[in-house]
Amino acid sequence: MDRTEVLERLEPVLNHQVREIEHNPRTRVVMTPDMVTFRPGGGAHTMEMTKEGVQSMAGFIGLPFNVAARLRPETFSNAATELLGGKNRYALVLKDGAVTAVTKRGEFHNVNPERVLTSIERGIPGVEFHRVLILANFVASLEVVGERRQPVNRGDLIQAGAQITFSPMGTVNPLVQSYVLRLACTNGATANTILREYRYEGGGGGGDNGGNSGNGNLWQWFQRSSRDAYNSLDVIVERYRRMMDERVEPAVRAQILEALLREARITGKDAEAVRALALENPPENSYDMMNLISNASSHIIERADRVRQAQLAVANYTHEDTHARICPVCHASRN
């Protein structure tokens, strides 16, 4: 997909605005049988609150949502208004005029997605945007690949890339992981090592690997981190080749697969589809076993959060230190 398509996929997390609020004694949260509304002090205009917005506000003011849901509308209105007043300053996240979240002021750091894409393009030669996952908390995960390809085995090429996780609203610290795409069946996998995480600091700035830097360096960080992930192909290929030598005996295949399915949180029909693949082509080594789950994350699972969980399970299984120390079946230490 091209950058226009990527921006279209990012649309669900782009159409939000952040409005900073100085609490006023006349501010009111009002619950009726039909909806919850927020009225800033001194104004007649009211804003509807979505269910997610009410849940977010309840968490922000320390009122458990399961308790809030049982309160009478008038009691909830008074309690929410009073508790919110104790915060004095906060921010509303708005979409289409409705409140979708309530949070601390200064918690968001706007990150221009077009500049993120430009930085990635500068870091990876011939970059192609493979997939976009939209996760919770206004977070996007981009899977990208470049020109470099290398065989794990004859006829089994993988393509170098990077996985970039960030939020256009800055709700999370951006991070970059190694990513490769297996061309035999176009299933992708991430490596467990996080190459770099960009940490936001006071005043909207950020730190690169623990150092202090201004927010303007964020774009250089995206460029350099994407390049480093892309250039980690040799290390990943070497690890995969060693995994091909790690035999999986027939007696434990089912146990290991079930353990991986649990860790990846693959259940129901999705799990049955993975088991069917394993019956059709029994995994003979750790590399084959890994590809069953990474194939599921690319071809079987649809929900973005479940895809991400499966990718994390693959990364943990692949990671050499973890794989050597922790039994994939029972998760007990091998030492």
The pLDDT tens digits along the chain (335 residues) read 999 999 999 988 888 888 888 888 889 999 998 899 998 876 668 899 999 899 999 999 998 888 888 889 999 999 999 999 898 889 888 888 899 989 888 777 888 999 999 999 999 999 999 999 999 888 999 999 999 999 999 999 999 999 999 998 888 889 999 999 999 888 888 876 666 778 775 433 333 333 333 445 899 999 999 999 999 999 999 999 999 999 999 999 999 999 999 999 999 999 999 999 999 999 999 999 999 999 999 999 999 999 999 999 998 888 866 555 556 555 555 55
Instruction: Say yes or no: 84 and 40 in one domain.
Output: yes
Give domain status of residue 9, yes or no: no
Q: Please tell me the predicted confidence (pLDDT) of residue 37.
A: 93
pLDDT value of position 45: 82
Last residue of a domain, one of 174, 197, 232: 232
The domain total for the chain is: 3
67 and 127 housed in the same domain? no
Q: How many CA atoms lie within 13 A of 225 on its CB side?
A: 25
Same domain assignment for residues 119 and 97: no
Residues 216 and 313 grouped into a single domain = no
Q: Which amino acid is at 69?
A: A
**At which of 232, 260, 285 does a domain end?**
232
**What are the angstrom distances between the C-alpha of 125 and each of 3, 146, 148, 227, 232?**
15, 6, 9, 9, 14
Q: By residue range, what is the domain housing residue 256?
A: 245-325
From 74, 103, 132, give the residue that closes a domain.
103
* Domain match, 228 and 117 both: yes
Residues 93 and 151 in one domain: no
CA dist., res. 98 & res. 3, Å (int)? 29
| Same domain (yes/no): 226, 293 | no
On whether both 122 and 93 belong to a single domain, the answer is no
Q: List strand residue ranges (DSSP E) for 206-334, in order.
A: 206-208, 211-213
User: Model-level pTM?
Assistant: 0.76
Distances from the Cα of 268 to the Cαs of 83, 85, 276, 279, 301, in angstroms? 42, 46, 13, 17, 11
